[in-house]
Amino acid sequence: MDSQTYILFALAVDVILGVVLVFLWLRQRDELHAIFWAVGQLSLTAGTAIWFLGPAQWPKLMSSAILLTTSVAGFWSGTEYFLGNLKRRHLQSVLVFFLGFCLAVYLAWSSHPQWIQNGAAWILGLVILWAGLRLSRNRNHFRFLGFVLMVRGASNLANAAGVVPTNYELWFIYSALIKTVSMLSLIYAVQEKIQQRYAHTIDSLSSGFLIQDRDGYIHVINERGARLLGYACPAEIVGTHIADHISGATRQMVADYFRRFEAADKHYPFVETATISLQNGQRLPVELIASPYFERGQLHCMVQLMDISERKKKDEQLFRASRYDTVTGFLNRHGLSLELTDLIAHARGVGGECAILFIDVDKFKRINDSFGHVAGDQLLNQMAQRLHGLLRADDVLARFGGDEFVIVLPGLPSGAARTMAAFCGERLLASLANSFSLAHQTITVSASIGVACYPEHGHDADTLIRNADIAMYDVKKTGRGELRFFDDAMNAHAKQVLVIDGALRGAIEAGELRLVYQPIIDARSGKMTKVEALLRWHSALLGPVAPDRFIPVAEDSGLIVELGTWVLNETCRQLARWREVSGIATVSINVSARQLLAPEFIGLVEHALAVNGLSASQLELELTERVLIDDGANVRATLARLNQLGVSISLDDFGTGYSSLSYLTQFQINTLKIDRSFVMDIEHSARSKSLVATIIAMGHSLGLELVAEGVETAFQAVTLEEMGCHYLQGYHISKPVAPDELLLFAARQQSAPLEWELSGN
């Protein structure tokens, strides 16, 4: 072949390699060094073609000067950009500089045309040699690329010096080889940089991240993920099977898991929890967030691993607080209900019986009044320990509330419940008759015990506890310090419920209902910004009826929806009357599950706000955890609509039920109200104080407002303010008052200093 044929082949190789770099840039537009290098290579190719193959009449000098300058600029800019020394803002200055350089080359070569060929080889050789040196010194991962460019630059200098024999065949082979290797190295450098970028991205995640194939083998894992699994570096775990790290998981389970991704109706990501077995034998709870991922047409799974051990600890704290009494350490009312339900189910299955003993300490209030609540709690704790000491291993003891205890005797043979309950009750009464040592005083107490037996007196936990409670009150009415079994004749309470239900049905029309309002103050400023509306009933037939007597009746009968509508409308009317009163920004009302889920509820809220000219932000709805549990999906939808309106949602009595953190993420809650039972104990119980601090810290982290209920002392108010609680509510601030008295309270708040309000002086 003649020389021109070799040159054509060489130019074709240059063009192919340049096009590859352009294609790489098109795939990754932010990799500007690829297009710079492509411009440098293609400019060199074009300049060579013009010089060797162009017609004689072409303006070879100017064209060669421009293309040479462009080639030099491309290789220089690509190298500097790749090393991070050249930014986009510098490109204009670089362009001006190289245009000037191009003009200088043209002027120099116009007077000395014989310099063009050798001069071009010298300049390009020096630039490529310089680029190789820069890459080999600054990027250890790309030393091979730097070495190749140094060889290429050195060969250009050798050609310019004329030390390489003229042999077109050898020149073509060498040129094609060195250019191919250099371009492939450049492509590798770009791809390696992209790969490192993605590696750094997943390594910078605060949570673990891995990619596994459908067979369950791990292909990619970041450093955080490797540490979560107990490994020092990702390389130790890549290639292992995911089932080897998750407790109880098998390879078949992993395969079944992947089939879920193939279902057309699934919504991603999948969020699940699992326990990981670490190399040191420990077990780590994690949350797995998984999404499908296709690579080369094959299904893979991207999984984010989040350490939820701290969340689990807090959940366990709240779980225990929801089931166990903070004073005695035994079950509380909620925990008792769950435990008794399970025991009844077991007894039903084996044909056995259970006995429930409801114990109330006689005249306990006198002890609290005489010696204080701390002494009262000490007495309750001593009593609980004494009662527990008389029970069998399987018997259950719970503090039902206040000075009330419940004991469950499970696993009794058929027909033995009454005998065993009477025997146990007599032992309890005899033991409680012995004195207690309290506050350097010897105190003697008595107790009244009511008993209900399964299945004789009921078939569910609530009925049995209620009937045992009725029997206990029957003892109270006729004397104290005795034990009595439930009897149907005692069921006057049920009759009273019927009377209350009948009288309540005409209460709205008769004008017997009214609202009182309890102030809620800002813990820091002492200003009243909220109030809670509370329903009161003075029946023409029954006289004053406490809310804890008629509200449960209304909920059971369905009247609660009608009562709730009245409260909503009356509250909004009153708030409109207070429009000019400074400080009363928000009024909260209690909402039951039946009321919230009524189809017309959203419309009633909108109507009440519109008719009275109020904004939705002025109304807050208080819910209990029971409302969230009953019908989660519908409640979630209703709360979402209320949130769209701008109505705030408050979770009342937080901590008394099973206060799982999941409630706070599943439902749109704005405010947590810490239950009074925890607030009352923060003065005397380190455990209660710690629990309240935990709830407040958790609320802060979730961006929730916090209201402490039942604040009755200055110490409680100051302690809660120091913990970071936002609002205070309780008798230390004010009891529930009529609207006119609330205005007087608001006026006093404007003039009274905060220290006076919190100190109680």
Does residue 326 lie in a domain region?
yes
Q: What is the pLDDT of residue 363?
A: 76
Q: What is the pLDDT of residue 552?
A: 83
- The rounded distance, in Å, linking the Cα atoms of 59 and 110 is 11
* Burial class of residue 437 in the structure, from the number of CB atoms within 10 Å of its CB (0-12 exposed, 13-18 middle, 19+ buried): exposed
pLDDT at residue 620 greater than cutoff 80 = yes
3-state helix, strand, coil in the chain (%, to 5): 55, 20, 25
Q: Are 319 and 658 in contact (CB under 8 A)?
A: yes
pLDDT at residue 358 greater than cutoff 90 = yes
Reference 407, options 67, 655, 415, 417; nearest CA is 417
- The rounded distance, in Å, linking the Cα atoms of 672 and 698 is 10
Q: Within 13 Å, how many C-alpha atoms sit on residue 85's CB side?
A: 12
Looking only at the bridges linking them, the beta strands covering 513-522 and 218-221 are: unpaired
Same domain (yes/no): 653, 566: yes
Reference 302, options 372, 212, 413; nearest CA is 212
From residue 264, alpha-carbon distances to 248, 259, 303, 517 in Å are: 28, 11, 20, 54
- The rounded distance, in Å, linking the Cα atoms of 536 and 736 is 10
pLDDT at residue 34 greater than cutoff 50 = yes
Give mean pLDDT, residues 515-532: 91
Give the least confident one: 38-52, 246-260, 340-354, 729-743: 38-52
Alpha-helix runs per DSSP H in 229-304: 251-261
Q: What is the pLDDT of residue 560?
A: 92
pLDDT band, residue 527 (cuts 50/70/90): confident
Does residue 312 lie in a domain region?
no
Same domain (yes/no): 121, 161: yes
Give, as one character, the DSSP assignment of residue 505.
Answer: T
pLDDT at residue 126 greater than cutoff 90 = no
Give mean pLDDT, residues 588-602: 90
Q: Are 704 and 324 in contact (CB under 8 A)?
A: no
Give the least confident one: 248-257, 390-399, 606-615, 729-738: 248-257
* Burial class of residue 288 in the structure, from the number of CB atoms within 10 Å of its CB (0-12 exposed, 13-18 middle, 19+ buried): buried
Q: In terms of residue numbers, what domain contains 88?
A: 3-202
Does residue 739 lie in a domain region?
yes
pLDDT at residue 630 greater than cutoff 60 = no
Residue with tokens 């034990």: 483
Query: Which of these three, 183, 202, 221, is where a domain ends?
Result: 202
| CB neighbours of residue 714 within 10 Å | 15
**What's the per-residue H, E or C state across 579-625?**
CCCCCCCEEEEECCHHHHHCCCHHHHHHHHHHHCCCCHHHEEEEECH
* Burial class of residue 262 in the structure, from the number of CB atoms within 10 Å of its CB (0-12 exposed, 13-18 middle, 19+ buried): exposed
From residue 311, alpha-carbon distances to 207, 273, 444, 512, 657 in Å are: 14, 12, 45, 48, 18
Q: Quote the tokens at residue 360.
A: 């109330």
pLDDT band, residue 591 (cuts 50/70/90): very high
Reference 145, options 198, 75, 51; nearest CA is 75
The SS3 assignment for 233 reads: coil
Same domain (yes/no): 243, 384: no
pLDDT band, residue 18 (cuts 50/70/90): low
Same domain (yes/no): 193, 244: no
pLDDT band, residue 57 (cuts 50/70/90): very low
Q: Quote the tokens at residue 401.
A: 């509330």
pLDDT band, residue 236 (cuts 50/70/90): confident
Instruction: Collect all residues with Cβ–Cβ distance below 8 Å to 696 and sequence separation of at least 6.
Output: 674, 706, 720, 723, 724, 725
Question: Which run of H or of E encompasses 504?
Answer: helix 492-504
Instruction: Label residues 645-670 b or e (16+ Cβ within 10 Å = b).
Output: eebbbbbbbbbbbbbbeebbeebebb
Which of the pair, 121 or 709, is modelled with greater confidence? Answer: 709
Strand boundaries in 501-577, DSSP class E: 513-522, 528-539, 543-545
Q: Find the CATH number of the domain harbouring 444.
A: 3.30.70.270
Residue type (1 letter), 266 = K
Q: Are 716 and 723 in contact (CB under 8 A)?
A: no
Does residue 357 lie in a domain region?
yes
Q: Find the CATH number of the domain harbouring 753.
A: 3.20.20.450
pLDDT at residue 231 greater than cutoff 70 = yes
Q: What is the pLDDT of residue 40?
A: 72
pLDDT band, residue 621 (cuts 50/70/90): very high
Q: Kindly report the CA angle at 551 between 547 and 557, in degrees rounded to 5?
A: 155
Strand partners, 401: 404
pTM for the full model?
0.45
388-409 pLDDT, tens per residue? 999 999 999 999 988 899 999 9
Give the least confident one: 3-12, 251-260, 407-416, 628-637: 3-12
Same domain (yes/no): 101, 125: yes
Q: Within 13 Å, how many C-alpha atoms sit on residue 62's CB side?
A: 3
Q: Are 173 and 6 in contact (CB under 8 A)?
A: no
Q: Are 708 and 727 in contact (CB under 8 A)?
A: yes
What is the tally of structural domains in the chain?
Answer: 4
Same domain (yes/no): 687, 541: yes
- The rounded distance, in Å, linking the Cα atoms of 384 and 296 is 67
436-471 pLDDT, tens per residue? 887 677 888 889 999 999 999 999 999 999 999 989
Same domain (yes/no): 218, 169: no
Query: Which of these three, 274, 307, 340, is where a domain ends?
Result: 307
pLDDT band, residue 494 (cuts 50/70/90): low
Does residue 746 lie in a domain region?
yes
Same domain (yes/no): 214, 185: no
pLDDT band, residue 757 (cuts 50/70/90): very low
Q: Quote the tokens at residue 48.
A: 């060579």
Q: Kindly report the CA angle at 320 between 316 and 322, in degrees rounded to 5?
A: 115
Same domain (yes/no): 407, 384: yes
From residue 500, alpha-carbon distances to 392, 508, 590 in Å are: 41, 14, 21
Q: What is the pLDDT of residue 303?
A: 84
pLDDT band, residue 42 (cuts 50/70/90): confident
- Helices 547-557 and 492-504: crossing angle in degrees, nearest 10, is 80
Same domain (yes/no): 684, 622: yes
Q: Quote the tokens at residue 657.
A: 């039920």
Reference 248, options 272, 209, 277; nearest CA is 277
Does residue 344 lie in a domain region?
yes
Which of the pair, 268 or 643, is modelled with greater confidence? Answer: 643
Q: Are 231 and 210 in contact (CB under 8 A)?
A: no
pLDDT at residue 309 greater than cutoff 50 = yes
Give, as one character, the DSSP assignment of residue 292.
Answer: E
Query: Which of these three, 465, 487, 509, is where a domain ends?
Result: 487
Does residue 492 lie in a domain region?
no
Q: Are 242 and 216 in contact (CB under 8 A)?
A: yes
- The rounded distance, in Å, linking the Cα atoms of 376 and 402 is 10
Residue with tokens 């991922």: 293
Q: What is the pLDDT of residue 8?
A: 60
Per the prediction, the chain carries an average pLDDT of 80
Quote the percentage of the chain above a pLDDT of 90: 31
Same domain (yes/no): 248, 288: yes
Residue with tokens 């190749």: 148
Inter-residue long-range contacts of 211-215, CB under 8 Å, 24+ positions, other chains counted: 211/293, 211/300, 211/301, 211/302, 211/303, 212/242, 212/300, 212/301, 212/303, 213/298, 213/299, 213/300, 213/301, 214/255, 214/258, 214/298, 214/299, 214/300, 214/301, 215/241, 215/254, 215/255
- The rounded distance, in Å, linking the Cα atoms of 545 and 308 is 47
Does residue 313 lie in a domain region?
no
Q: Find the CATH number of the domain harbouring 220.
A: 3.30.450.20
Alpha-helix runs per DSSP H in 232-332: 251-261, 309-323
pLDDT at residue 754 greater than cutoff 50 = no
Instruction: Label residues 145-172 b or e (16+ Cβ within 10 Å = b).
Output: bbbbbbbbbebbbebbeeeeeeebeebb
Give mean pLDDT, residues 363-385: 82
Same domain (yes/no): 198, 212: no
Q: Are 394 and 343 in contact (CB under 8 A)?
A: no
pLDDT band, residue 55 (cuts 50/70/90): low
pLDDT at residue 343 greater than cutoff 90 = yes
